[in-house]
Amino acid sequence: MSSTNLNKAVSPEAGPDATPQAHDSASSKSSGWAVFTFFMIGFVGSLLAGWILFPELLYSQKNQPIDFNHAVHLDAVTDGCDSCHYFREDGSFSGMPDLAACEDCHQEAMTDNPEEVKFVEEYVTPGIEVPWLNHSKQPDCVFFSHAAHVQGADMSCASCHGDIGTSEHTRVYEENRITGYSRDIWGQSISRLGKPGPGDPRPMKMNDCAECHEDETGHKGACFQCHK
Amino acid sequence: MKEKHSNTPAKRYGMIIDLDKCTGCGACMVGCYAENNIPFKPDETNKLDSINWIRVFKLTNHKPYPETEICYLPMPCMQCDGVGKHGHSPCVSVCPAVATDYNYDTGIISQIYTRCFGCRYCMAACPYHARKFNWWDPVWPADMEKYLSPNVSPRMRGVVEKCSFCFHRYQLAREKAYMEKRTDLAEGEYQTACADACPTKAITFGDLNNKDHAVYKLKNSPNAFRLLERLETNPKVYYLTTKKWVRKAGDNYLAHEEPETLKTRIKEHH
């Protein structure tokens, strides 16, 4: 009696070799299923935490200082994106317009829109540059030439930045708490599977650059092509 | 490894340094420091761990007065092509991290600081001591950080850096060319900071493959030589001198060897 008890007690840990009796194999089989079930619960739980909870923790959310309406501006200007995001003669790209460029039109509020009134009161009147959050900011070691892509390869702004020109509100800026970069660089999909939808900005990691270069030009290029 | 990066004809950017014109003033070094955000120590007396992308060496013929002669020799990265111009330069072939590669468009050897993990194999492999190691994070005195160039990324502790032939200037010149719908650059559009800074115009920079560039003719001058040519690193930095002893200082010659006869031997070998 006592020896049977002993056998049962050791069987789950000692494995099949330690339980020669036939009537014990059934109980070890059922406990094996229990272990497997608990393992799977833990495994799936960790995966869910990793894929759903972790991104929530990884990214902090910020709003742009002004809720900018691209659609309204795109209707009002004559030169499309180039009206505010223009190339200089030396080939450098102006990027986000500075306050002086905005002041060309917004010396005073043109409408009753609360965001515009806020913009004029908080930034234009005291002469403070708007601290826009840049979704596409790259690390210091990256050399990106807008001229090569837009002037040289005739690419549209939307092919990388998405249909930002038709947006009526600014998006939430999600900042990686560890690296400080925007979530747009990694891409919205945390697993980086699948392609971004039409109108969505494209992810901008090095692999994304290399992939497109390989497709379009047949080679990834040398390091110095995109690094400085 | 692919031997071509684009469909445009390959360039081989190179430098000719006329040692007879060099006065050893060091303007090239100063220009390089400012252009490339090169860090320096509060006390630079210990040159062993100094960082510089171009360094002016002082040569002497070791003769007593009145035959004493001095020559100053500025040394940037030699941008070696390797045997047969296949980009098999000493540093590129040893890098385990692919942090340095040969650009087949320009012949310029890159150095990617964020990729480098500081093993310093490349420093050991480089026969010209062109590569320097960052033993410390750079510290800029007072407000100097605000004067750093945004076109060159500053380095961090634990990585190797070296002369890039001011590659960012090539990139910026290309941006302007894109705006003007051009594919080629004029000779003057892409010049290195050291070439610009040299007051005696001892440094000439350009495309060694382009017959219209000054360097094309200068490299074929009978006074031209390269450093440690016997190693067959095939550098793209040439030196000009009329002085035989200077030319002889460019390699480890035995007493009976003459640079001229040696050059022929190397040519025959390949």
- When CB atoms are compared, the residue of A90, A139, A227 closest to B176 is A90
Please state, in angstroms and rounded to a whole number, the distance separating the CA atoms of residues A47 and B149: 44
Whether B21 has its CB under 8 Å from any CB of chain A: the answer is no
Q: Sign of dihedral through CA atoms B31, B37, B43, B44? A: negative
Compare B263 and B70 and report the one with higher pLDDT: B70
**Per-domain residue ranges of chain B:** 13-269
Tens digit of each residue's pLDDT (9 = 90 or more) over B105-161: 899 999 999 999 999 999 999 999 999 999 999 999 989 999 999 999 999 999 999
Task: Indicate if A194 and A166 belong to the same structural domain.
Answer: yes
In a domain, A171, yes or no: yes
Query: What does the pLDDT read at residue A160?
Result: 92
Average pLDDT over residues B236-248: 94
The verdict on a CB contact (< 8 Å) between B175 and A147 is yes
Please check whether residues A193 and A122 belong to one and the same domain: no
**How far is the alpha carbon of B175 from chain A, nearest alpha carbon, in Å?**
5
Residue B9's pLDDT is what? 67
- Higher-confidence position of A198 and B211: B211
pLDDT of res. B238: 96
- Does A184 share its domain with A88? yes
Same-domain status, A109 and A174: no
CB–CB of A2/A10 below 8 Å? no
What total number of domains does chain A contain?
A: 3
Flag whether A11 is in a domain. Answer: no
Look at the block and give the residue holding tokens 């000439």: B204
A217 lies within 8 A of chain B by CB = yes
Q: Does A227 touch chain B (CB under 8 A)?
A: yes
* A103 and A178 within one domain: no
Cβ of A140 and B164 within 8 Å? no
> What's the pLDDT band for B263 if we cut at 50, 70, 90?
low
The reply to whether A200 falls in a domain is: yes
Whether residue A35 is contained in a domain is answered as yes
* Claim to verify: residue A145 and residue A198 sit in the same structural domain: yes
A158 and A51 fall within a common domain: no
Q: How far is B255 from chain A (nearest CA, A)?
A: 43
Interval B72-105: pLDDT, tens: 999 999 999 988 767 789 999 999 999 999 998 8
In a domain, A56, yes or no: yes
Answer whether A223 sits within 8 Å of B105, measured CB to CB.
no
Looking at residue B87, its pLDDT comes to 76
Task: Kindly compute the dihedral angle of the four CA atoms of residues A206, A212, A215, A217, in this order, to the nearest 10 degrees.
Answer: -90
One domain for residues A89 and A168: yes
Q: Tell me the per-residue pLDDT of B23-35, one tens digit each, with 9 for 90 and over.
A: 999 999 999 999 9
Q: What angle do CA B46, B49, B52 make, to 5 degrees?
A: 105
- Are A113 and A198 part of one and the same domain? no
Q: Which residues of A34-47 are buried (b: 16+ CB within 10 A; e: fewer)?
A: eeeeeeeeeeeeee
**Claim to verify: residue A73 and residue A158 sit in the same structural domain:** yes
One domain for residues A113 and A170? no
Q: How many residues does chain B have?
A: 270
Distance between CA A224 and CA A61 in Å, rounded? Answer: 34
Q: Point out the residue among A145, A217, A224 whose CB comes nearest to the CB of B110.
A: A224
The pTM for the full model equals 0.86
**What is the rounded average pLDDT of the residues B37-57?**
92
Cα→Cα distances A24→A5, A6, A27, A30, Å: 11, 12, 6, 10
Average pLDDT, chain B: 90
CB-CB under 8 Å, A89 with B6: no
Q: In this structure, which topology does domain B13-269 adopt according to CATH?
A: Alpha-Beta Plaits (3.30.70)
Q: Which of B114, B168, B179 sits opposite A87 (nearest CB)?
A: B179
pLDDT of residue B267: 52
pLDDT at residue B266 greater than cutoff 70: no
Query: With contacts defined as CB-CB under 8 Å, which chain A residues touch B106?
Result: 224
> B209 CB near a chain A CB, below 8 Å?
no
A-chain residues near B101 (CB < 8 A): 222-224
Assembly ipTM: 0.85
Residue A188 lies in a domain: yes
Task: State whether A222 and B5 contact (CB < 8 Å).
Answer: yes
Do A218 and A166 lie in one domain? The reply is yes
What pLDDT was estimated at residue A85?
Answer: 94
Question: For B110, which of A87, A90, A223 is closest by C-beta distance?
Answer: A223
| Structure confidence at residue B2 (pLDDT) | 47
Q: Please report the pLDDT score of residue A7 as a whole number.
A: 46
CB of A225 less than 8 A from some CB of B: yes
Residue B174: which of A143, A85, A204 has the closest Cα? A143
Q: Is residue A52 part of a domain?
A: yes
Q: Give Cα B116 distance to the centre of its chain.
A: 20
Is 50 exceeded by the pLDDT of residue B1? no
A1 CB within 8 Å of a chain B CB: no
Give me the total of CB pairs closer than 8 Å, taking one residue from chain A and one from chain B: 81
Domain hosting A108: range is 97-131
Cβ atoms within 10 Å of A214's Cβ, excluding its own: 12
What does each of the 228 residues of chain A score in pLDDT, given as a tens digit?
444 444 444 444 444 454 445 555 556 667 889 999 999 999 999 999 888 888 888 999 999 999 999 999 999 999 999 999 999 999 999 999 999 999 989 988 889 999 999 999 999 999 999 999 999 999 999 999 999 999 999 999 999 999 999 999 999 999 999 999 999 999 888 888 888 888 889 999 999 999 999 999 888 888 999 999
Whether the ω angle into residue B66 lies within 30 degrees of 0, i.e. cis, is yes
